[in-house]
Amino acid sequence: MKFTIPDRAALLAILERFPRQQVVMLGDLVADESIYGEIARVSREAPVLILKQREKQVVPGGGANAVNNLADLGARVIPVGVVGDDETGEALLRYFREKQISTRHVARVRDYLTPTKTRILGGLTHWQRQQIVRVDREPAQPLAREVRTGLARSTVALLSTSTGVLVSDYGYGATSSREVDLLRRRGRKGLPITIDARYDLLTYKNLTAATPNEPEVEAAFGQSIGHDLERLHSLGRKLLRRQSFQALLVTRGRDGMALFEARRAPRHLPIFGSDQAVDVTGAGDTVIATFTLALAAGASFLHAALLADCAGGIVVMKRGTATVTLGEMREAVRNA
C-alpha cells in the first residue's frame, strides 16, 4: 500500500492524538490460553502424540484483546465486562493490572466460567510449534439480566469523559443491542460507538460503524460472496442501510478491506504488507480497536480504515494473539 503525501501527514497527525483519547470497551472478556509442549513419543494407549508441557501462557482474547490493543496504541482504555471467579479470570485481571489498565468496572461473577480458548501447540526441540487442537470452555448459563444492566450503567457513567466506545459481542452475554441502544441515546452527539458482533450483527442499529468480516456478512444474509464484488457491494450497502450505520468496514482477509459509507461508492483497501499471514488469531480485535481509536481522535472514516488496515497487516505477521504498538504504527505509515 502507498499513501499520498497529504494522507501520510494526516495519518501521522491522527496517531499523535491517540494518547489523548479515552475509550470504553463494553463486551465479552475472553482468555486466550496457549499450552506449549515438546513431542516426546507416541502413546501406547492410543495412536496419539504425548507432549511434555513446557509452558503455559494466558493473554487477553475477544473484547479483552481489543482492550489490550487500545492500550498498546497509547489510549487510556477502560474495560467494562465480567470474568468468572476462576483461574483464567484472575489471570486476565492480573494481566490488566500489570499493564496499568483499570479493572474497576470488571465484575467477578460467582458460578460464571470465564470464556477460555485453549490452544495446544507442540513440536520437536528447536522446531516451529504447530497448533494441534483447540479446546473451548464456555459458560454453561447466560449472564443474568441484572448483570448486563449493571455493566450498561457503568458504561453510561463513563460516557461524559470518553471519546469513543467499542462494543465487543462474542455471544457470551456481557451486552446486547438493548443495552447498546441505551448508550447511544445517553451519549453525546458525535460520540463514536462501534460494534464487533460475532452472531447478532443484525440486531444492532443506529451506531457509528461496524467492522464485520466477510463470512459474518455472508452469514447475516445467508448468501455467499466469494469473488463476486457486485454481491459484496450489494450486501454491504444493504447492511449499511438496514442497520442505519454511518460506515461499514468489511475485512476480507488477503483481499484487504471494503469501506462503505452512505452516498459514497464502496472503497477497496488492499492488504497492508504481505498476503502470507503468519497467524490471523485476534486480527479482527486489532482492526476494530484501531478503527475506533482513530475515529475517537477525529479521523474520517477513510483515514480510520487506512490505519486499521495497517494495524491488521502488522498483527497477522505475529504469532498468537498479539497487539500492535503506537511505535509500529508510526513506522508503518512513514514507510508505506
* Catalytic residue numbers, as ranges: 285
3-state secondary structure at position 12: helix
Grid coordinates given for 211: 467492522
The CA angle 255-261-265, to the nearest 5 degrees, is 70
How many Cα atoms within 13 Å fall on the side-chain side of residue 139? 26
Q: Which helix (H) or strand (E) holds 305?
A: helix 301-315
In angstroms, rounded to a whole number, what is the distance separating the alpha carbons of residues 219 and 208? 21
Grid coordinates given for 261: 459509507
Grid coordinates given for 51: 507432549
DSSP code for 103: -
In angstroms, rounded to a whole number, what is the distance separating the alpha carbons of residues 114 and 88? 7
Largest pairwise CA distance in the chain: 66
